[in-house]
Amino acid sequence: MATVGPVRRTPTRIAPDASPELFRALVENSSGPIFLIDLETEECLYVSPAVHGLLGRRPREMIGRPLTDFVHPDEAAEVVARSASRRNGRGLPKTVTRMSHRAGTWVWVEATASPVIDFEGRSTAVFTVADAADRVRAESSLRAAKLRLRRTLEQVRRERDLHGEPDGDHDPTVGALAAALELRDDETGQHTRRVTEIALALTRAIDPELAAVPDLRYGFLLHDIGKIGIPDAVLLKQGPLTPHEVRTLQMHTTLGEHLLSFVPFLSDLARDVVAYHHERWDGSGYPWGLRGEAIPLPARVFAVADAFDAITSDRPYRKARSIATAISEIQRGAGSEFDPSVVKAFLPIARRLEADSAEREP
């Protein structure tokens, strides 16, 4: 059998009759920096004005100099190697690299490369560049979360081996895992148990058959498993979060969905709760902006139960509020944050909880 070598691309030529004014208008008004790089010498032949927003530099500081002058020393050789690959018709279209900011810091950037272009006899490529800090942070958080989950599961297995667990009964494992995770951001370790019982009661009122499926309870118990990948500086912060910190915290839903793949006995029912419990009925939630009944029912149910417990429990930034206040807020959220039919089913449960609480008071 003949060996097939790498496919070489014929360099694209810029049409000689194309309007230079059109190119300049398109490039210089782009929101993201654009580079034209000589793939032989790494020379920056052109850098668009948007580079100032990303790297704090003016194009004139970079044009005529090798791109490697602005790349982290640990990655300069890799950049040169990638250029050689591109000249030979290979190489990844997207790469992530650290570049120097004029303030003296390093900025993670993602560069998307064009095919090789023959420009004035040089082999060049156009790169569109964007800030990659969130992507790098997410990948780092995912690696940390996997390590933490692996350690937690090992601890749970040791406890199970020590105390025993009936074959096929996963509830002790899930319960122990949920308790271990809960202690990261709730010193009492009770939030997960409370919200799970409320969510199960609400599910029984809406769909008794669904409530009887064991994986539903597992999803409720592990709803915040993704928080093991969120840095303590964000998760345990006492004051308001910055917009960047909010985005970091919101990563816990997608992190959690991914991490559940390490718990093989869990079904999509559990993953639906973990992945979608912060979606909103009107489409303004995260991470996907799902709307209405596109949000799985278990996630819609859990969203109401979670909001109720959050309002009626102490938080680092405020004291618990009354059940009457929680009922009022949840009613106001019907049709925007919450499924109206789920809210309607929840009100009798909430009022029973309010009555029980009144009876316990001295």
Per residue of the chain (362 residues), give pLDDT as tens: 344 444 445 555 555 455 666 667 777 777 789 999 999 999 999 999 999 999 999 999 999 999 999 999 999 999 999 999 998 888 778 888 999 999 999 999 999 999 999 988 999 999 999 988 877 776 666 666 666 666 666 665 565 555 554 444 555 556 656 665 665 555 445 778 889 999 999 999 999 999 999 889 889 988 988 887 787 778 878 778 888 888 888 888 988 888 787 777 778 898 899 999 999 999 999 999 999 999 999 999 999 999 999 999 876 667 889 999 999 999 999 999 999 999 999 999 999 988 887 777 65
| C-alpha dist (Å) from residue 65 to 45, 52, 305 | 8, 16, 59
Ranges of each domain in the chain:
14-131, 135-360
For residue 360, the number of C-alpha atoms closer than 13 Å in the C-beta half-sphere is: 6
Tell me which of 1.10.3210.10, 2.60.40.1120, 3.30.460.80, 2.30.30.100 is the CATH number of domain 135-360: 1.10.3210.10
Helix (H, G, I), strand (E, B) or coil at 160: helix
Number of H helices, E strands in the chain: 16, 7
- Residue range 14-131 forms a domain whose CATH class is alpha beta
**Rounded distance, CA 225 to CA 175, Å?**
12
For 37-69, the DSSP string reads EETTT-BEEEE-TTHHHHHS--HHHHTTSBGGG
